[in-house]
A and B are shown apart, each in its own frame.
Chain A
Amino acid sequence: MKTVYEKPHSLTDNKTIYCPGCNHGFVHRLVAEAIDSLDLREKTVAVAPVGCAVLLYDYFNFDVVEAPHGRAPALATGIKRVRPDLNVFTYQGDGDLASIGMAEIIHAANRGENIVVVFVNNANYGMTGGQMAPTTLPGQKTTTTPFGRDTKHDGFPFRMAELIGSLPAVAYSARVKATSPKHVLAAGKAIKKGFQNQIDEKGFSFIEVLSTCPTNWGMDPVKALKWVDDAMESYYPLGTFKDIDGGK
């Protein structure tokens, strides 16, 4: 029989700790597929964040170093600078990347580090139980915004893909989502492009994936996907905000 679809080799057989419907699973798979298809597994070093994805090394079948909260881009910089032959990427959530790690991500991007950053934006701190994140939507209720995010009090959420895309040294910055098969394919393509950029030494590639957190949002997994389409996407438009290839 011919295999039409199977688990990518870059994923281990371990069952993840993620809640049912959590989009980390999608994103792990897309990263693994991109790495498999470019034959990069044996020279990959991934940098894990602090947050739900901290156990990345249990799920990816390649080398992983675990960073302090927010510092993944600094570790990736160190790795890539002393070993340019390795394929290096960070995998980060919104609290990790856009709050405590804002300096590290902006500066790694601004230096044009030849790495890939996969940014999972689910609009809250998942692992600690659903607090306000730098990407929590205006009006969105979290455990620390019980009346909804008040922009007069907490400011506005960061649009990271646009922010990163505005920096001259960045090769590629895009925002994707994974709410339908068509969009999953597009997200996979964007992630693969990031790794291809690294192979081609084009510089910093940033892929933001709008993702669900069904548990902390208090929604079932299917409704949560719908919330990404309806609520999140209206604040975070999909698109490519920087592409030095001009979208080719």
Chain B
Amino acid sequence: MPKVLINTDRCKGCGICITVCPKKILRFSGKFNSYGYNYVECIDENLCILCKSCALMCPDVIFTLKKDE
């Protein structure tokens, strides 16, 4: 099972990851971190195919991606 860990406090809400996710499972959370940014969240990590597009395109290195061995 894939695991999408998001460091929400580093997120600046640029939204680039949302546009590149092929499974459309990232979205703005509507919540704000301590810096005032509307951070992203993953709505269903079970759908994640671990393509790393979000991590590759994130300017703020907020994603950690894991999977079961």
Known: A1-B66, A11-B61, A21-B59. A181 touches B20 (CB 8 A): yes
Q: Is B58 an interface residue (CB 8 A)?
A: yes
Q: Is A2 an interface residue (CB 8 A)?
A: yes
Min CB–CB distance A211 → chain B (angstroms)? 10
Known: A20-B12, A181-B51. A5 touches B59 (CB 8 A): no
Q: Is A163 an interface residue (CB 8 A)?
A: no
Q: Is B64 an interface residue (CB 8 A)?
A: yes
Q: Which residues of B contact A184 (CB under 8 A)?
A: 56-57
Interface of B, secondary structure class, is: loop
CA distance A181 to B22 in the complex (A): 11
Interface residues in B, total, Cβ within 8 A: 31
- Smallest CB gap from A225: residue in B: B16
Known: A222-B15, A222-B16. A4 touches B52 (CB 8 A): yes
Q: Which residues of A contact B56 (CB under 8 A)?
A: 181, 184-185
- Smallest CB gap from A179: residue in B: B57
Min CB–CB distance B11 → chain A (angstroms)? 9
Q: Which residues of A contact B14 (CB under 8 A)?
A: 20-21, 214, 221-222
Residue with the highest number of chain B CB atoms closer than 10 Å, among A23, A25, A225 = A25
Complex contact A3–B12 (CB within 8 A): no
- Smallest CB gap from A21: residue in B: B14
Q: Mark B1-37, 1 if CB is under 8 A from A, else 0.
A: 0110000011011111001100000000000000101
Q: Which residues of A contact B57 (CB under 8 A)?
A: 26, 178, 180-181, 184
Contacting B at CB under 8 A, from A196-233, are 214, 220-222, 225
Which residues of chain A have a CB within 8 Å of any CB of chain B? Answer: 1-8, 11, 15-16, 18-26, 29, 178, 180-181, 184-185, 214, 220-222, 225
Which residues of chain B have a CB within 8 Å of any CB of chain A? Answer: 2-3, 9-10, 12-16, 19-20, 35, 37, 50-53, 55-61, 63-69
